[in-house]
Structure 1
Amino acid sequence: MVSIPEGFHDLFEKATFAHVATLTDEGLPHVTPVWIDYDTADDRLLINTERGRQKERNVRNNPGVGVSMTDPEDPYRFLSVIGEVEEVTTDGARAHIDELARRYQDVDEYQPTIETERVMLRIRPDRVL
């Protein structure tokens, strides 16, 4: 099993933006900037999104994704992951987006108002560059 190297865990403790690439029904790439998190216990990348967004629809049809991020303090330090969305879940997603909002925006609760429901994409890393 591939893991995120420990020397890069700090990227998930600061406001590091990532880009997630998914494939549309037509097989075209769709790339979106996202907030990113990491479940060290399960070795899974976590992306929180709203039900019905393009990336969420894409991974339901094709779970393969690419994720890249650069250290906000050193743009030459980066992490790139190729993996698969193993699960799309609402379990804990609402609390998780508030946790991310504290890290990325220094606020207690995520804004804007959520239109549908939050979901988490749990990504298994298959290759780490």
Structure 2
Amino acid sequence: MASIPEEFHDLFEKETFAHVATLTDEGLPHVTPVWIDYDADDDRLLVNTERHRQKARNAEHNPGVGVSMVDPDDPYRHLSVIGEIDEITTEGAREHIDELARRYMDVDEYPQPIESERVVLRIRPDRVL
């Protein structure tokens, strides 16, 4: 298992967008832009989504994932992670999306209606590039 280098932790404190790649049932890549977070204590990337969305459905049958992000202040500074979603949890997911909304949208609560159920994809980094 790899770790996110300390010098890249700041990417998870600003409005950094990441692209997450999962695999469909047919083995085809599905890439989507997401808000990204990091649990430094557990060394897990965090992606908050809804259970009915394609990336969450893909993760149910194939936990392999690729994540890339570019520093919004310096497009030549980037981080790529290959890993595995080792947990899909609803625990704290609603509060987490509100935290992300504060960072990315400067609002107190996530403004979009929840269509199914909020979940957090916890990604274990196996390789960091």
Provide the TM-score with structure 1 as the length reference: 0.99
- What value does the CA root-mean-square deviation take over the aligned residues? 0.5
For each residue in 1:38-58, what CA deviation from the matched residue of structure 2 results, as whole angstroms up to 9, or x when unmatched?
A: 000000000000011000000
What letter corresponds to residue 22 of structure 2 in structure 1? Answer: T
For each residue in 1:53-73, what CA deviation from the matched residue of structure 2 results, as whole angstroms up to 9, or x when unmatched?
A: 000000110000000000000
5 Å matches for 1:54-73?
A: 54-73=54-73
Provide the rounded CA distance (Å) in 1 between the counterparts of 2:61 and 2:51.
14
What letter corresponds to residue 66 of structure 1 in structure 2? Answer: G
Provide the TM-score with structure 2 as the length reference: 0.99
The SS at the match of 2:78 is strand
Provide the rounded CA distance (Å) in 1 between the counterparts of 2:22 and 2:51.
15
Question: Could you tell me which residue of structure 2 aligns to residue 107 of structure 1?
Answer: 107
Shift of 1:118: 0.2
- Runs of 4+ residues deviating >4 angstroms: none
Among all aligned residue pairs of Structure 1 and Structure 2, give the percentage whose two residues are the same amino acid.
Answer: 81
For structure 2, which runs of at least 5 residues remain unmatched after alignment? none
Question: Could you tell me which residue of structure 2 aligns to residue 27 of structure 1?
Answer: 27
Matched, 1:91 2:91: yes
The SS at the match of 2:25 is coil
What letter corresponds to residue 74 of structure 2 in structure 1? Answer: D
Provide the rounded CA distance (Å) in 1 between the counterparts of 2:89 and 2:124.
14
